[in-house]
Amino acid sequence: MIALIDVVGSNVGSLEHALFRLGYHKDRDYYFARSGESLTGASHVILVGVGSAHQAMRALNNHGLTEAITKLTVPVLGICVGMQIMYEFSWETKGLQGAESLEHSPVSCLAIFPGSVKKLAVPNHLSLPHSGWNQLEQNHHFQGNIRPFKQFDSTYVYFVHSYGAPVGGNEVIFYVDYGVKIPALVCCRNFYGTQFHPEKSAQIGSQMLQEFLKLC
């Protein structure tokens, strides 16, 4: 069974639809995990984040999920904010807009990947959020097993975000270019993160979800 962690916000509908299109049904193939104990026995875990890292971590902490997630040994996929909270810290401390001046210190996150998630420092002529289809570029310094994802090099996937993971880490499989490099797909051990939304990335996104769900 696939465990979906949806404690943050409630907008997992598009992921559920994507799973359904791949033939996965609720209760038969996946369920919602709302406590640390409920992760026991899951074959795969998907961490869907909506909102800010601050909201996401507060929700995980309140549900006793934080430590349970870091101890998982099955494949774990974090999507968007779900990926960002796999880093040590995030500066996305508040809600959505106009919050920057209120930031004092970053939010402590899951610390599966090193470094801090920060607001994207894009050139002035580019707008935030980084929103739309962007092209994956392989990071040739990645040391891990790229085989399941190699086929996605140079494909376009769908992004909507204003914060990004640190550049230069060994966990980065693919970057995209938006005036600055942005880590798009990351992996360390059994933990995977996509800054983009595979559930909204047409056929390519479906294939990626399928590749993830084939991992064991």
Partner 1 sequence: MLAKRIIPCLDVRDGVVVKGIGFKQHRVIGDILTLAEYYSAAGADELVFYDITASAENRTVSTQWVEKVAAKLSIPFCVAGGIRDVKSAQNILRSGADKVSINTPALHNPDLIGKIADLFGRQCVVVGVDSMRDDHGQYWVWQATGSEKTASQTRRKTLQWISELESLGAGEIVLNCMNSDGQKTGYDIAQLTAARAISRLPLIASGGAGSYEDFIQLFSQVNVDGALAASVFHQKTCQIAQLKEMLIAKNIAIRPVDH
Positions annotated as catalytic residues are: 80, 197, 199
| SS3 at position 109 | coil
Nearer to partner 1, 12 or 109 (CB): 12
Antiparallel, parallel or unpaired: β 76-80 and 191-194: parallel
CB of 111 vs partner 1, minimal distance in Å? 25
- Which of positions 5-64 make contact with partner 1 (CB under 8 A)? 10-11, 13-14, 17-18, 20-21
Report the site for partner 1 in 91-150 (rule: CB under 8 A).
Answer: 95-97, 124-127, 129-135
Count interface residues toward partner 1 (CB under 8 A): 35
Q: How far is 175 from 35, CA to CA, in rounded Å?
A: 33
Task: Please report the beta strands in the chain, taking only residues with DSSP state E, as ranges in sequence order.
Answer: 2-5, 30-32, 44-49, 76-80, 87-90, 107-108, 113-119, 130-135, 137-138, 156-161, 163-164, 172-178, 180-188, 191-194
73 binds partner 1 (CB under 8 A): no
Q: Which is nearer to partner 1, 40 or 131 (CB)?
A: 131
Query: Can you give the binding site for partner 1, defined by CB under 8 A?
Result: 10-11, 13-14, 17-18, 20-21, 95-97, 124-127, 129-135, 156, 158, 160, 177-178, 199-206
